[in-house]
């Protein structure tokens, strides 16, 4: 196996919350991400799933350098991306780019599509007019837009088209990693399919590595090579997609999968069968809760271990 291009090690993010106390004294910390570790290989799509508020976006922002981690390291090709040796924004920009959830908020309403693509190129030293022209046209074609449409402003596009523009912008600097934060959850079902297809096509075409954040397990199953299930800032289960979907071990993962309103599941009428039989925990360990009780986010989580149950399939257990 080749060396991973992105390594996240023991990532912690805590947000100071000011409340209580006279003069707003007493500070509490919200533990958003607690000791996250994973890596990403070239050309791979790694999905991070989990419920709202479990720290998915925070992780994404940390990878993008938009959120300084409280602890831990993020390495790109073995070089640190965080801490004192972190590269500047410019260098980071060529390593990783991001596609955002809300296609309406992710484009500057006062810039034409062309401008949004041209500015980063110029910023990164592409000065030649013809070259800029060529690269933008090619990129627009790649995402299924015409170069003529580039002269328009974002409000003249539909949600799906905007998401395409967002993708074009993410790819214009030819990054190796693209972080997708819920790239399709704001889109209509029919348009969702187009974007998913497009993302898969582009991944193949440019050998991109994706970190995809989503709470929609059916999309995750469709797109990812490996899946990370997060609960309350922690990875509770991680593994190749088949392992996760066909052989979920953690009660929370099972709960998530059972909750997917998949037409087929309901039409087959064997709902919730999955949840019932839980394979026993390894000796000396016990299962964690299934996530139906919300944890206290102001305390660090209970000590637990991530155990490899074979084939890169990791599951978190509490010590018995």
Ligand X SMILES: Nc1ncnc2c1ncn2[C@@H]1O[C@H](COP(=O)(O)OP(=O)(O)OP(=O)(O)O)[C@@H](O)[C@H]1O
Compute the least distance from the CB of residue 217 to another protein, in Å: 7
Asked if 97 and 179 count as a contact pair (C-beta separation under 8 A), the reply is yes
- Residue 56 binds ligand X (CB under 6 A): yes
Structure tokens belonging to residue 216: 């929609």
Cα dist from 133 to 102, 114, 128, 143, 213, whole Å: 27, 9, 9, 16, 32
Helices (H) and strands (E) in the chain, counts: 11, 13
Cα dist from 254 to 182, 236, 238, 276, 309, whole Å: 21, 11, 13, 9, 16
Angle at 289 between CA 49 and CA 296, to 5 degrees: 80
- Residue 320 binds another protein (CB under 8 A): no
Compute the least distance from the CB of residue 16 to ligand X, in Å: 8
Whole-angstrom distance, CA of residue 192 vs CA of residue 101: 12
Among 4, 55, 69, 251, binds ligand X (CB under 6 A): 55
Compute the least distance from the CB of residue 100 to ligand X, in Å: 11
Among 3, 90, 273, 320, binds another protein (CB under 8 A): 90
3-state secondary structure of 2: coil
- Residue 97 binds Mg ion (CB under 5 A): no
For residue 129, give every residue at least 6 positions away whose Cβ sits within 8 Å of its Cβ, in sequence order, or none.
Answer: none
Residue 231: φ, ψ to 5°: -140, 120
Touching ligand X, residues 156-195 (CB under 6 A):
none
Measured distance between the N- and C-terminal CA atoms of the chain, rounded to whole angstroms: 35
Among 34, 47, 57, 161, binds Mg ion (CB under 5 A): 57
Compute the least distance from the CB of residue 68 to ligand X, in Å: 11
Helices (H), 88-128: 89-95, 113-123
Compute the least distance from the CB of residue 17 to another protein, in Å: 10
- Residue 214 binds Mg ion (CB under 5 A): no
Whole-angstrom distance, CA of residue 183 vs CA of residue 169: 14
Compute the least distance from the CB of residue 233 to ligand X, in Å: 7
- Residue 58 binds Mg ion (CB under 5 A): no
Compute the least distance from the CB of residue 53 to another protein, in Å: 9
The interface partner of residue 106, options being Mg ion, another protein, ligand X, none and the CB cut-off 5 to 8 Å by kind, is another protein
Give the x/- contact pattern for another protein in 230-269, rule: CB under 8 A: -----------xx--x---------xxxxxxxxxxxxx--
The interface partner of residue 197, options being ligand X, another protein, Mg ion, none and the CB cut-off 5 to 8 Å by kind, is another protein
Touching ligand X, residues 197-226 (CB under 6 A):
215
Q: Whose Cβ is closer to ligand X: residue 148's or residue 299's?
A: 299
Among 2, 52, 85, 296, binds ligand X (CB under 6 A): 52
Touching ligand X, residues 238-297 (CB under 6 A):
297
Among 105, 138, 273, 320, binds another protein (CB under 8 A): 105
Q: Which of 43, 45, 74, 44 is nearest to 58 (CA)?
A: 74
Residues that bind Mg ion (CB under 5 A): 57
């Amino acid at each position: 196996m080749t060396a991973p291009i992105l390594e996240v090690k023991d990532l912690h993010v805590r947000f100071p919350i000011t409340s209580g106390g006279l003069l707003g004294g007493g500070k509490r910390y919200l533990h958003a991400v607690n000791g996250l570790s994973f890596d990403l290989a070239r050309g791979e799509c790694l999905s991070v799933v989990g419920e709202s508020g479990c720290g998915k976006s925070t992780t994404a922002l940390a990878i993008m350098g938009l959120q300084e981690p409280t602890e831990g390291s993020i390495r790109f090709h073995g070089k640190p991306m965080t801490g004192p040796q972190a590269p500047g924004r410019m260098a980071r920009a060529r390593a990783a780019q991001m596609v955002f959830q809300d296609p309406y908020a992710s484009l500057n309403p006062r810039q034409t599509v062309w401008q949004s693509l041209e500015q980063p190129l110029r910023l990164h030293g592409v000065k030649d007019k013809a070259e800029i022209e060529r690269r933008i046209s090619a990129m627009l074609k790649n995402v299924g837009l015409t170069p003529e449409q580039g002269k328009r402003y974002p409000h003249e596009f539909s949600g799906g088209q905007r998401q395409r523009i967002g993708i074009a912008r993410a790819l214009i600097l030819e990054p190796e990693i693209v972080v997708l934060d819920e790239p399709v959850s704001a889109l209509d079902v029919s348009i969702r399919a187009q974007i998913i297809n497009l993302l898969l096509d582009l991944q193949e075409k440019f050998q991109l590595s994706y970190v995809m954040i989503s709470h929609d397990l059916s999309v995750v199953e469709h797109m990812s090579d490996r899946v990370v299930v997060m609960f309350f800032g922690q990875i509770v289960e991680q593994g190749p997609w088949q392992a996760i979907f066909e052989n979920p071990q953690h009660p929370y993962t099972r709960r998530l999968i059972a909750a997917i309103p998949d037409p087929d599941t309901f039409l087959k009428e064997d709902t919730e069968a999955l949840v019932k039989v839980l394979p026993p925990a390894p000796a000396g360990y016990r299962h964690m809760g299934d996530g139906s009780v919300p944890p206290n986010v102001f305390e660090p989580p209970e000590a637990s271990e991530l155990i490899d149950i074979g084939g890169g399939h990791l599951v978190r257990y509490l010590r018995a």
